[in-house]
Amino acid sequence: VLSRSTIEKLIKEWNDPKSKCSAANASKWQQGNPGILTAHCFTQVLNIPVVDTRDESEDLSHRFHAYGIIRTVTGNVDEWYLKKHETLDNIFEVDAKYHHRPQPGSKCCSTSTISFHYVEAGESLAFWDVMQKVNQSPQMSDGEIKEIMNRGWPRDKEGLGQYSHGLPGPHLAIWDDIIRVVRKISNGVVTSSC
């Protein structure tokens, strides 16, 4: 969450061709990862501290996720993403337990999860539908949740996009974790009035 004043300072730095915040002065990798460039700008140029957004649970579950729910729960994420989390010990206090790395399985996601990134519209709509239904009927069985997901989840690249993965095979044990996470996250969903 950024204040108007912080956004104005950030835009000023982005527009200054001599600033370390300017994409023109960043490495190719940072140019392709504007969130990382912005975090560096906050800490190194604007002297604005960034905060650890994981929850306070024993699992230190993440609230913001770079990938869709299936990749996040299965832990099948890119190695660069995991390595980048290890550098967070230098920014925040040292996390001797996880070194800020996202945890696979049901520990991945906080009950107060805010977002999943790299998610196309088809997967977003399917996930929103599942969360709405689970929120409205929390007594729903695990089998019913799995059935709703299988019925509405996209299966092709058009619906999933470049970064997402499809649902796992029907008998894989990872379904238990996926359903636990769906229940955790759905608990905080605000139902839509439209």
98 has a pLDDT exceeding 90: no
162's torsion region: left (phi>0), alpha (psi -120 to 50) or beta?
alpha
The closest of 105, 159, 101, 103 to 127, measured between CA atoms, is 159
Give the integer Cα–Cα distance in Å for 123 and 168: 14
Angle (CA) 154 156 160, round 5°: 60
Q: Which residue in this structure is represented by tokens 């579950």?
A: 61
Band of pLDDT at residue 182, cut at 50, 70 and 90 = very high
84 has a pLDDT exceeding 90: no
Q: pLDDT digits over 18-29, tens only?
A: 998 888 888 887
Give 108 or 87, the one with higher predicted confidence. Answer: 108
Give the integer Cα–Cα distance in Å for 193 and 38: 35
Give the integer Cα–Cα distance in Å for 9 and 13: 6
Give the integer Cα–Cα distance in Å for 130 and 2: 30
The pLDDT > 90 percentage for the chain reads 53
